[in-house]
Chains A and B, each alone.
Chain A
């Protein structure tokens, strides 16, 4: 098989899988922070701040993967 074709395939698959991973992470994060906020509405502000920070961290990992995919596409 053509190595360039494999690289494009890897980039596409990698982007998809990293999106799945990030979606699972952020989904779990959002569900439990909503649980927390519903159980203790007075802590909703703190929970929101923590949620944004952890979402940023999870997203960072997914974006690492996306950058690798982008490099695969651009520099084959």
Chain B
């Protein structure tokens, strides 16, 4: 098996691993020296977190527009738009606060134009917070990296599925076997979501109602996750806001489509339970309901964030070695770092699929639990629907129930 892996492929993998190192090359501090803190803040955290620029180093570094909804000093709400963070700092009443400098007790933000120019020269403005010097920022509506890649993922999913839907448009059922790699691959995935995720978890044929949502969630997460593996790009799902909104969608579906049985059990506790136990159980159930969906958001976010943190930490190790132990150590670390990066990249490809699957199957599970109805016709209600002629049956049922109740106490 190993003998069949062509050297070309290994080289391609290594190039992929190294291409991740390109955008991560750290910006130099103001005095031209690399510092450990600068590497941690800018190289590792700055690339894993959201930011207001697209990092295409060594080719370019594109700053994204900043849009701020502000309340000016005289109390008027205005919308301010700047072409870039640089423009925001140079033309607007904004200053630069370094990481962790937002609190009180620190020196105020940098506002003097000479100091600002120096900070911009050192690319400091990309990794720090812009604070308004007069009035206050109500909402920061700036276009960020994760927004760009989230929208890109949306466009890819839209494009792929509109193209795919065209092939099924003419007939209700497709007339022939799927043709071509694209249709075959997508049909396998769609059928997988339908047969392995939706059908087993959502009862009573109600899966048809929720299949569109599950498919959308699955493919959006999958594409966004895979975009996170592309050099120069980023994963929109490594942003807690994105995953939070997706979890809120699942939560609102659970709340909106929850059956009356589900709500009754949620708000009054399980049937046949003593009142005291119900008083304890109901708050636990409600907290559990919220925590389940919160965990849904945090799981996806932390997995994607953790993956990119690991990759940038491995690459940052090279630059750290350069600072601590000199150039020779850095070169030898490069070999190990790139090797591990390739390994983690392959692992992340697996994680991209698994997380999309886990999010979707858990959503399906929660929705399935909510929409499930307890059918009349269980052992308790059956005798009640019996007519007068079925007294014998009812007696039998009562006897069965008596036996059921007596047995546990005698055993």
Contacts and interface: CB of A to CB of B under 8 A. Distances in A.
Nearest to A46: B200
Interface stretch (B25-33, B127-135, B229-237, B295-303): B295-303
Interface of B (DSSP majority class): helix
B16 interface: no
Interface of A: 49, 52-53, 56-57, 59-61, 63-64, 66-67, 74-75
Given A53-B361, A63-B299, 13 more contacts: A49-B196, A49-B361, A52-B357, A53-B365, A56-B299, A56-B362, A57-B295, A60-B295, A63-B298, A63-B302, A63-B306, A64-B302, A66-B302
Size range of the interface on B? Answer: 10 to 19
A56 B298 contact: no
B357 A60 contact: no
A72 B357 CA distance: 30
A34 to B, nearest CB: 18
Interface in B145-200: 196
B362 A67 contact: no
Contact of A60 (B196, B299, B365): B299
B138 to A, nearest CB: 23
Contacts of B196: 49
A57 B366 CA distance: 13
B354 interface: yes
Contacts of B358: 52-53, 56
Interface in B348-376: 354-355, 357-358, 361-362, 365
Contacts of A56: 299, 354-355, 358, 362
B303 A63 contact: yes
